[in-house]
Structure 1
Amino acid sequence: MVDFNELKDKAQDLVAQHADTIKDGITKTGDFVGEKVGHDKVDPIEEKLHGLVDKAARNDEPPSPTPPVV
């Protein structure tokens, strides 16, 4: 049986590791398409995609508390 939570975690880790590369690809694609149809149409979509990458890279679980140093 497929553990979808495990797949989600792996995908988040992968996006987190390569977020800059993914965003660079989005920017380059946005620049290319923007030259064809206009940057005013493409730039808002590009910004939203960057936000989705940031959101996907974050782990929504709260950070585990660190034990106090004694």
Structure 2
Amino acid sequence: MSDFMDKAKDFADKHDKQVDQGIEKAGDAADKRTGGKYDNQIDKGVDAAQQRTGDGDTGR
């Protein structure tokens, strides 16, 4: 399992922009499916996830 996590971290480091875009799309999909009911919480989760991937958040 450690090898998988190392590879995932390496991928996120090398492809920060793409990972952040994927997280953003997932957040948008979750927001749409919940009808915007949890928009604030989803945005906080997206921001937190983006800050933990790659070399840093590429922003929105």
Q: TM range, normalised to the smaller chain?
A: 0.5 to 0.7
Identity fraction in percent:
20
Q: In structure 2, list runs of 5 or more residues that go unmatched.
A: none
Larger RCO: 1 or 2 (CA < 8 Å, sep 6+): 2
What SS is found at the alignment partner of 1:53? Answer: coil
Structure 1 residue 27 displacement after superposition? 0.1
The match for 1:32 is 29
Q: Give the TM-score, by structure 2 length.
A: 0.63
The match for 1:65 is none
Q: Does 1:23 align with 2:2?
A: no
Structure 1 residue 16 displacement after superposition? 1.6
Q: In structure 1, list runs of 5 or more residues that go unmatched.
A: 59-70
The match for 1:48 is 48
